[in-house]
Structure 1
C-alpha cells in the first residue's frame, strides 16, 4: 500500500483543502471511498479516519480522507463547495489512482455524514456548492455510508448556528437549501446509516426519520442500530461498535460497489 498525504485537491484555499490517499497494491474492487470527518463543521481532522481508510485500502479500495474549511470562519456553503471539489478531483483522477469514477462511496461521521449525504442529494445542475473551477458538476457518489449523521438542522445546537451563520428564523431560504429533507425526492443513491441508540447529539429518531423519508420516495436506505453506543463511535477499527459497524459497511460495499465494478 502507498500513502500520499496532504495533496491539494483544489487550487484555492489549499491549506484547508487537503487529501490523504491510501492506494492498495491492486484495486480489484474498482471502488473508491471518500472519508469526510465530523466535528460539527467547526473542528475535526482528516487524520481521524486513517485507521479505517487503511483497513479498506487493505481490502482493495482506493481511499481518500479530506480536510475542508471550517466554521465559523467559513460558513455554509463553504463546506459543500469543498466536498464537491474533492469529489470532482477524484473523478478527474480516477484512472491515475486505479478506480472507477462511477464507483465512489462517500463515508462520513456526524457533520461529515451530513456532507456525505448532501453530495448524494445534489443534481449536476444544482448551483449549491458550484464554484468557478468545478470541472465535473456531477459530484454524486455511487453510495453513502454515514455514521451518526446530522440530518436535522432544527436542533438547538451552537455548532449549527456557527455553520449556518444564524438561526432558521432569520434565514429560512438558506436553511431550506441546506436541509437534506428538502432534497430527498427521487434520489437513487443507496444509503447505509449506522446509529447508536444512546447518541444524544444526533439521535436515533433523526436517523430513522431520514431513512423513512428516503424510503417514502422510493429510494434505498438501510439503518443499523448499535445498542448503548454514543456519538462519534466510528473513528477506528478496534472497539466492538467499530467492528460491528464495519461488518455492515463491508457487506454494503460488496453489494453496492464491488458487484458493479
Structure 2
C-alpha cells in the first residue's frame, strides 16, 4: 500500500500537466456558462454544450475530500463529454471545514433542482449522475437518498444511471488514515456515521443501473468501497457493474474521461449507451 501511495504521488505530477493541458490549452474555444444557484460563492455550476438532443445530460460531481476541488478543475471532463455531444453540468458545493455534512448534499440537490427547473422545456431529458472520489458519495446520495429527493421534489424517473470513479461509497471500507481523517472532518462530531454512510441508502425500490470504476492500486480509497457497494445493489436487483482497472491508482482513474480518453474509456461510453 505504501508503494501505491508513492506511485499515486508521482502520477499526480503527470496528471496535473495533462489536466492543465486540456483545461486551458486544448479546445480553448469551448466555453462554459457560469450559473449561480445560491448566494454562497461556491453555489454555482458550470454548463457545457447546452443542447436539446436525445443524449442524456451528464451531471458530474468533483472530488477533493469534501474540502477542496472545483468545477474549474474538471473543465477537461466537461470538454470530454461535450465533444461527444452531451450536455454537461459541473456543480460546485460548499466545502469543509466551514461547512459540514449534509451541506454538501444539500448543495448538490439545489444545483440539480436549479438546472432541472431552468430546463423544464426539455421534459424528456435523461440524467446520468457521475462522481469522482468524494463526489461519488454525493452522486450516490442524489440517486439513492429518497428523503432528499422528496424534500427537493426531484422526479427520480429522470435519473437513469450512476457512474462513480474511485468513489467513497462505504465509509466502513475506508481504512487508510487519510480517508478516515477526511470522513471525520466531513461528518463532524454529531453525525451518526451509519446514517450518513452512502451504502446504507441502497434499497430495493431504487432501480437505477450503476457502474463503479476503481483502480486496483488505489492507496487512498480502498477498491472495496466500490465492490461492497456493487454487491449490495446486486443482492437486490442485479443492476450494478464493477470495473476494476489494472494499474490505476486514485486520481489517474480520471484519465478515462480526459482528452481523447483511453482504451478502457469504452466501458463508460458503452454503459451510457445502454441506458
Alignment TM-score > 0.5, same fold: yes
Is 1:163 the counterpart of 2:186 in the alignment?
yes
2:144 corresponds in structure 1 to: 121
Partner of 1:16: 42
Are positions 1:176 and 2:194 aligned together? yes
Residue of structure 1 aligned with 2:154, choices 134, 137, 150: 137
Is 1:202 matched up with 2:221?
yes
Q: Which residue of 1 aligns with 2:169?
A: 151
Kept in 1, the 8 Å contact 2:109–2:148? The answer is: no
Q: Kindly state the Cα deviation for residue 86 of structure 1 after the two structures are TM-superposed.
A: 1.2
- CA displacement at 1:95 relative to structure 2: 4.6
2:56 to 21, 31, 34: 31
TM-score by length of structure 1 reads: 0.82
The equivalent position to 2:133 in structure 1, one of 107, 110, 115, is 110
Within 2, Cα distance between the matches of 1:179 and 1:137? 21
- In terms of fraction of residues, the more helix-rich structure is 2
CA contact (8 A) 2:149 2:155 kept: no
Long gaps (5+) in structure 1: 257-261
Residue 26 of structure 2 is matched in structure 1 by none
Please say if residues 64 and 133 of structure 2, whose CA atoms lie closer than 8 Å, have aligned partners that are also in contact. yes
Q: Does 1:58 align with 2:83?
A: yes
Deviations 1:87-134 (A, max 9, x none): 1112212256x5744x111111000011111111112xx15894xxx4
Please report how far the alpha carbon of residue 245 of structure 1 lies from its aligned counterpart in structure 2 after TM superposition: 4.3
Paired residue secondary structure (1:142)? strand
Name the Cα RMSD after superposition.
Answer: 2.5
Residue 91 of structure 1 pairs with residue 116 of structure 2:
yes
Paired residue for 2:19?
Answer: none
**How far apart are 1:181 and its partner, in Å?**
2.1
Q: Structure 1 residue 150: deviation in Å?
A: 0.2
Q: How many residues align?
A: 239
After alignment, is 213-222 or 244-253 more displaced? 244-253
Partners of 1:99 and 1:235 lie apart in 2 by: 31
Equivalents in 1 of 2:128, 2:36: separation in Å? 20
TM-score, normalised relative to structure 2: 0.78
Secondary structure, aligned partner of 1:43: coil
